[in-house]
Structure formats: C-alpha cells, structure tokens
C-alpha cells in the first residue's frame, strides 16, 4: 500500500498527524527533510502528503517545483497544506498554480484532515486507474501502427482483424468519455457528501436544543393554545431534521435503520407535504389496504423514496393529471420477480401517474446511476438508482411498469415484518417503571449538554454532566455510574476514544453514544444503531435508547 507522507518538522506536529491518520487506517510515513517527498514525486509513488507551512518553508522550492514538473504524465500528486489562520502563507504564489493542493487552516477538526486525506487517496487511486487505461490504449495504438507498417502484404487476411481493432479502439474512446462524465458526477457527489456531513453535525446540534427545550416546556404547559403552538414548532423542527436526513440520503452518507413500520400511517402523515410538493394542478388519490402488514424498512428513507417518486410523477405531468398511491399485501413473490426476491411475504407500495410513459429502452436504463431523461440541470439521474439501492438493501426490490402514452407505475416491494409496527412510547407511563440509575453525560456543546441533562432528569434518572472526555475519566475514577452517555464528535478526545478508555477502567459500564454527525464510522469504530442516539432527539427517543441499553446490560449480567 502506498504511504501517506507527513512533512512537519516543528514540535509534535508530525507525531500527532501520523497518529491521527493511522487511527483512520491510513499508512503513514514521517518525512522530516522532504527527501522522500521529492523521490515520490519523481517516481510516481506515494498516496499523498500532508505538509505544514513551516515544513514547506524548509524544502528547497526549486527542487520541489522541478520534481512536480518531472512527475509521470499520469501523476498529479495530491498535497494537503496546513496553514495557521490569519498568517501569510510561506509557499510561493506560483506553487498553488502548479500543484494539486488542498489548503486547511489550523486549528482544524480531526475529521476534516481525515476526510481530506481519504479524498487525496481516492484521487490518487483514480490517477493510477487512468494511467492503466492510458497504457492499454497506447498498446492498442502501437499494435495498430505495427499492423499499418505491413498492411500491403497482409491487407487481405488482416482486413477483418483491422476492422475489429478499430471497433475496439472506438469503443474504448467512447467508454472513456462516459467514464470521465461519470467521474465528474462522482466528484460532485463526493463534495456534496463532505459538505452535508459537516452541516448535519452543527444543524442537528441546534435542532437538539430547540426540540428538547420545546419538548420539556410542552410537558409543563397547561394552556391549550400555547401547547398547540409548541407542537407546531416541534413539527417544524422535525421537518428540518428530515430535510437534513434527505440531504444525507442524497449524498449517500446515511445508514439505514430498518424497523417494523406502518406504511399506511407514513403515507397518511405525508399527505400535506405531498400536496405542497406536487402543487394544485395534480390530483392525489390514495388506495391504502386496511389490513396492511407491517414492513421492515427505514421510515425516514422510505418517506424520501415516496417523495422522490411523487416529484418524478409531477415532472411527468406538467399540465395536470392524477397521482395514485396504493398499498397492498403480497403473500407470494410474483413470477416476474422470482430472480429478484427471496421466497416470502412482502408489502407493496405503488406510485402511478398519467404521464407520457417510458419506452422499453428508457426502462432498461432507468436504474442506472446518472441516467436521466430530464433536461440538463433539472435532474441528477440518481433518484431511481437510489430507490433501487434502498429497496435491495432493505431486502426487497423495485419494478417499473410503463407504456408510451399510458403512464407509469413504480412499485416498491419490502419484506413483511412479523413484529408490531414501532409507535411512540409514552414517557410518562414508563417513568414509574424505571429503576433508579445514575448517568454520566458528556457533551462539549454547553447548550446541548444542558438540554440533554434536563431531559434525562425529567425521565427520573440522576445525571452528572461534564464537558470533555478528560473530565469524564476523572469523575469515573471517583464515583460510580450505571450508564455513560457521550457525544461522539468532540475536540481533543472523541466519544469513541473515551469509550475505549472507559472499557479499560470498567468493562461492564454500558455506553450510549449521541451524534448529529453524518458518518459516525469516520471516528474509527463500527457502532450499531442500538447504541447511537441520533440528534435531534425527543424525550421519548432518549427514554427508549437509555432503557434499551440498561436492559441489555442487566440481561447480560444475569446470563
């Protein structure tokens, strides 16, 4: 595996950066003098380099620029330059025009550096893939030139071979153009994913304070009119959280959390949003089976998929028409889907429109990523591909039935769940049943920490809150707790790092993580949904997660 070089001669920068990248699974080598960097540039080796501004100042600029210019034709070595905020950069003005550089200002969040390093590694891998394609193409062109040199003697017997070689070359060029177009789109998606991941963290922290404060105030309010206004505010904040989830789903940074869901209730709850989205020129008709089975799916992502299908139908009927949503039980796999579905029972959701329909050629490519029939700039070509991926990841599939001039029906098949559909638990009913427990709460955001502590106290638990992992370790050495609840993304020591330290001290202490971050796996541990409380959260969410973690711990202790 190519190494990621770290050129940081001052202080502990090199060891800190090395340990941070290594914790993310990146192979790192410290290059204090910059000699390894120069050699990697000339030979085309290495996955990239992190250079501090003082490290760049110690490298011979002429030698560096000469090595950059001497790179192999396919190579565009990626640099991550760390500069101090507010200080002038020490690199020559021309250098940023000559090198593939990402400038990060310090101090910076560890996730930003890890994300930038991974992006550089992926870009380097794509360069090597492009080099391989280029080599293959050059070999094909060389073969063609050799054939042309002896064409007079072999024209008769080589005619068919030459035609075949020409066809292969043409196909390779066409495929390369398509690959380049897909690469551009993929880079856009990668940029969106990085942006939405950071936005989600900050936005969900804000929504946690808003939703938590309103939730607690609503439990103390006796004025019906004020209570109604509070509930409206909570619904608006939750729609903001749903919007964040939709952005994350679009950028494919959201993990599925499948549970038993009542699809009819989801569709009924979306009626107002669907009406506002598709506009007054379309009629919405719902035919929901009264005896519909619960389905196994992620409810948030299912809402996004239904909304996307409704938007597609709206775009297909610009002058008006009827949008129909139907649900039904499927007790046996239809013959046309035997190759797509395992034997069993399923729940079907169909979205139909009166639009112009699809040709067989369009239907055959409908699920291809980036394929779209919409005008440039009006569609990404990811909607149906994302829908297909969601259905397959949920254990189901998607089918399109369409004819030109007769409209289109898209049907999602999801596996039946034998569990009862998840409903919101009454926190007040559960409070009397809850055993006394002491909880240590860790969150670096003061407002989030205060509202979370108030929520936990409202549930009847005793809570002690601190602002950092170091403070948590100190108090754990002095007092005993029944549960540790910690935020994941914290400066200095992350929640995952804190959990590792706590397990060394008390392996039996249950740990519940909370996060508004898009991709919690960035922090180095595979966390299951059962131990992660997603922000923003309602008081019922907190109660359910804490009870589940404590119950699991008690059951394990009994065994």
Tens digit of pLDDT for each residue in 357-410?
Answer: 888 888 777 776 656 665 554 455 556 777 777 788 788 999 999 888 888 999
Percent of the chain with pLDDT over 90: 15
Tell me the pLDDT tens digit for each residue of 461-474. Answer: 899 999 999 999 99
Banded model confidence at residue 88, pLDDT cuts 50, 70, 90:
low
The answer, yes or no, to whether residue 520 has pLDDT greater than 60, is no
- Choice between 193 and 79, residue whose per-residue pLDDT is larger: 79
Look at residue 377 in the predicted model and tell me its pLDDT. 46
Look at residue 208 in the predicted model and tell me its pLDDT. 76
pTM of this prediction exceeds 0.85:
no
Interhelix angle for 151-220 vs 110-149, to 10°? 160
- Choice between 349 and 152, residue whose per-residue pLDDT is larger: 349
What's the rounded mean pLDDT across residues 164-183?
78
- Choice between 440 and 85, residue whose per-residue pLDDT is larger: 440
Short-list 43, 46, 25, CA closest to 7? 46
The conformation of residue 373, written as its DSSP 8-state character, comes to -
Nearest-5° angle of CA 244, CA 381, CA 241?
10
Instruction: Give dist(CA 258, CA 421) in Å, integer.
Output: 11
Structural element, H or E, at residue 412: strand 407-415
The end-to-end CA distance of the chain, in Å, is 44
Is the domain of 281 the same as that of 363?
A: yes
Is the domain of 272 the same as that of 378?
A: yes
Two structure tokens written together for 147: 């054939």
Lowest mean pLDDT: which of 375-384, 407-416, 430-439, 521-530? 375-384
Instruction: Give dist(CA 474, CA 289) in Å, integer.
Output: 57
Instruction: Give dist(CA 125, CA 75) in Å, integer.
Output: 10
Banded model confidence at residue 413, pLDDT cuts 50, 70, 90:
very high
Domain-ending residue, one of 415, 435, 461: 415
Residues 6+ apart with CB under 8 A from 282: 313, 314, 317, 320, 321, 322, 323
Helix (H, G, I), strand (E, B) or coil at 32: coil
Short-list 278, 321, 327, 308, CA closest to 372? 308
Percent of the chain with pLDDT over 70: 78
Tell me the pLDDT tens digit for each residue of 249-301. Answer: 544 455 566 789 999 999 988 887 787 777 778 888 889 999 999 999 888 78
The answer, yes or no, to whether residue 435 has pLDDT greater than 80, is no
The answer, yes or no, to whether residue 415 has pLDDT greater than 90, is yes
- Choice between 30 and 149, residue whose per-residue pLDDT is larger: 30
Residue 316 lies in a domain: yes
Instruction: Give dist(CA 147, CA 164) in Å, integer.
Output: 13
Banded model confidence at residue 426, pLDDT cuts 50, 70, 90:
very low
Residue 242 lies in a domain: yes
> Cα–chain-centroid distance for residue 504?
31
Lowest mean pLDDT: which of 6-20, 205-219, 278-292, 538-552? 205-219
Residue 536 lies in a domain: no
The conformation of residue 335, written as its DSSP 8-state character, comes to G
Instruction: Give dist(CA 243, CA 303) in Å, integer.
Output: 11
Look at residue 191 in the predicted model and tell me its pLDDT. 62
Residues 6+ apart with CB under 8 A from 119: 102, 190, 194
Neighbour count for residue 92 (Cβ, 10 Å): 14
Is the domain of 407 the same as that of 274?
A: yes
Instruction: Give dist(CA 553, CA 559) in Å, integer.
Output: 10
The answer, yes or no, to whether residue 486 has pLDDT greater than 50, is yes
Look at residue 224 in the predicted model and tell me its pLDDT. 77
Strands 321-330 and 282-288: parallel
Look at residue 465 in the predicted model and tell me its pLDDT. 92
- Choice between 480 and 234, residue whose per-residue pLDDT is larger: 480
Look at the alpha carbons of 226, 228, 231, 232 in this order and tell me if their dihedral is positive or negative: negative
Domain-ending residue, one of 415, 449, 468: 415
The answer, yes or no, to whether residue 184 has pLDDT greater than 50, is yes
Give one DSSP letter per residue of 280-326, joined into a string. TTEEEEEEE-TTPPPEEE-HHHHHHHHHHHHHHHHHH-TT-EEEEEE
Residue 197 lies in a domain: no
Lowest mean pLDDT: which of 80-94, 256-270, 355-369, 432-446? 80-94
Is the domain of 286 the same as that of 214?
A: no
Tell me the H-state helices in 150-256: 151-220, 224-250
What's the rounded mean pLDDT across residues 415-434?
59
Summary mean pLDDT of the chain = 80
Is the domain of 211 the same as that of 287?
A: no
Residues 6+ apart with CB under 8 A from 382: 189, 250, 369, 370
Is the domain of 79 the same as that of 55?
A: yes
The answer, yes or no, to whether residue 96 has pLDDT greater than 70, is no
Look at residue 135 in the predicted model and tell me its pLDDT. 85
Is the domain of 233 the same as that of 357?
A: no
> Cα–chain-centroid distance for residue 215?
28
Residue 156 lies in a domain: no
CATH, residue 64: 3.40.50.2300
Look at residue 409 in the predicted model and tell me its pLDDT. 92
Two structure tokens written together for 508: 């039996």
CATH, residue 377: 3.30.565.10
Residue 461 lies in a domain: no
Is the domain of 296 the same as that of 231?
A: no
Instruction: Give dist(CA 73, CA 131) in Å, integer.
Output: 8
Two structure tokens written together for 467: 């602002």
Look at residue 473 in the predicted model and tell me its pLDDT. 92
Residue 267 lies in a domain: yes
Instruction: Give dist(CA 360, CA 47) in Å, integer.
Output: 44
Is the domain of 319 the same as that of 364?
A: yes
Is the domain of 404 the same as that of 268?
A: yes
Domain that holds residue 222: 206-250
Looking at the structure of the chain, the number of domains it has is 3
Is the domain of 76 the same as that of 15?
A: yes
Tell me the pLDDT tens digit for each residue of 21-42. Answer: 999 999 999 988 888 889 888 8
Residue 449 exposure: Cα atoms within 13 Å on the Cβ side: 16
- Choice between 320 and 185, residue whose per-residue pLDDT is larger: 320
Look at residue 432 in the predicted model and tell me its pLDDT. 43
What's the rounded mean pLDDT across residues 118-134?
89
The answer, yes or no, to whether residue 190 has pLDDT greater than 70, is no
Look-up of token digits 């009626």: 271
Is the domain of 267 the same as that of 404?
A: yes
Residue 23 lies in a domain: yes
- For residue 14, give Cα distances in angstroms to 2, 6, 121, 143, 294: 18, 6, 19, 49, 54
């Amino acid at each position: 595996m190519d190494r990621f070089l770290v050129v940081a001669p001052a202080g502990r920068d090199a060891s800190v950066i090395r340990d941070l990248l290594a914790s993310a699974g990146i192979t790192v080598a410290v290059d204090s003098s910059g000699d390894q960097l120069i050699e990697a540039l000339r030979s085309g080796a290495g996955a990239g380099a992190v250079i501090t501004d003082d490290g760049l100042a110690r490298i011979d600029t002429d030698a560096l620029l000469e090595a950059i210019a001497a790179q192999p034709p396919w190579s565009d070595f990626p640099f991550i330059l760390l500069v101090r905020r507010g200080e002038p950069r020490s690199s020559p003005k021309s250098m940023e025009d000559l090198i593939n550089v990402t400038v990060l200002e310090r101090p910076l969040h560890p996730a930003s550096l890890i994300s930038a390093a991974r992006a550089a590694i992926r870009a380097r891998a794509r360069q090597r893939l492009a080099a391989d394609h280029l080599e293959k193409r050059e070999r094909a062109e060389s073969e063609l030139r050799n054939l042309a040199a002896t064409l007079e003697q072999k024209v008769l017997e080589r005619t068919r071979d030459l035609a075949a070689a020409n066809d292969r070359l043409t196909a390779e060029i066409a495929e390369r153009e398509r690959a380049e177009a897909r690469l551009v789109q993929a880079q856009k998606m990668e940029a969106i994913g990085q942006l939405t991941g950071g936005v989600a963290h900050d936005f969900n922290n804000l929504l946690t304070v808003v939703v938590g404060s309103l939730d607690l105030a609503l439990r103390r309010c006796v004025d019906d009119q004020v209570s109604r206004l509070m509930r409206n505010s909570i619904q608006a904040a939750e729609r903001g959280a749903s919007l964040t989830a939709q952005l994350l789903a679009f950028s494919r940074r959201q993990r599925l959390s499948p549970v038993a869901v009542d699809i009819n209730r989801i569709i009924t709850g979306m009626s107002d949003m669907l009406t506002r989205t598709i506009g007054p020129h379309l009629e919405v008709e719902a035919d929901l089976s009264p005896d519909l089975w619960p389905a196994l799916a992620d409810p948030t992502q299912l809402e996004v998929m239904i909304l996307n299908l409704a938007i597609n139908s709206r775009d297909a009927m610009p002058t008006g028409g009827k949008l129909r949503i139907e649900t039904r039980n499927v007790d046996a796999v239809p013959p046309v889907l035997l190759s797509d579905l395992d034997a069993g029972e399923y729940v079907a959701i169909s979205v139909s429109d009166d639009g112009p329909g699809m040709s067989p050629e369009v239907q055959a490519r409908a699920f291809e990523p980036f394929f779209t029939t919409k005008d440039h700039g009006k569609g990404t070509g990811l909607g149906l591909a994302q829908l297909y991926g969601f259905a397959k990841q949920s254990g189901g599939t998607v089918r399109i039935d369409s004819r030109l001039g007769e409209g289109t029906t898209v049907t999602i098949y999801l596996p039946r769940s034998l569990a009862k559909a998840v409903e919101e638990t009454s926190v007040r009913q559960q409070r009397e049943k809850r055993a006394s427990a002491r909880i240590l709460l860790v969150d670096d955001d003061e407002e989030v920490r205060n509202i979370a502590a108030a929520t936990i106290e409202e549930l009847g638990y005793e809570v002690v809150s601190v602002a950092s992992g170091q403070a948590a370790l100190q108090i754990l050495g002095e007092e005993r707790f029944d549960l540790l609840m910690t935020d994941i993304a914290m400066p200095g020591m992350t929640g995952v790092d804190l959990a590792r330290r706590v397990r060394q001290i008390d392996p039996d202490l249950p740990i519940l993580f909370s996060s508004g971050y898009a991709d919690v796996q960035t922090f180095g541990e595979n966390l299951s949904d059962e131990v992660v409380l997603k922000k923003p959260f309602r008081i019922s969410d907190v109660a359910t997660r804490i009870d589940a973690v404590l119950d699991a711990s008690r059951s394990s202790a009994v065994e």
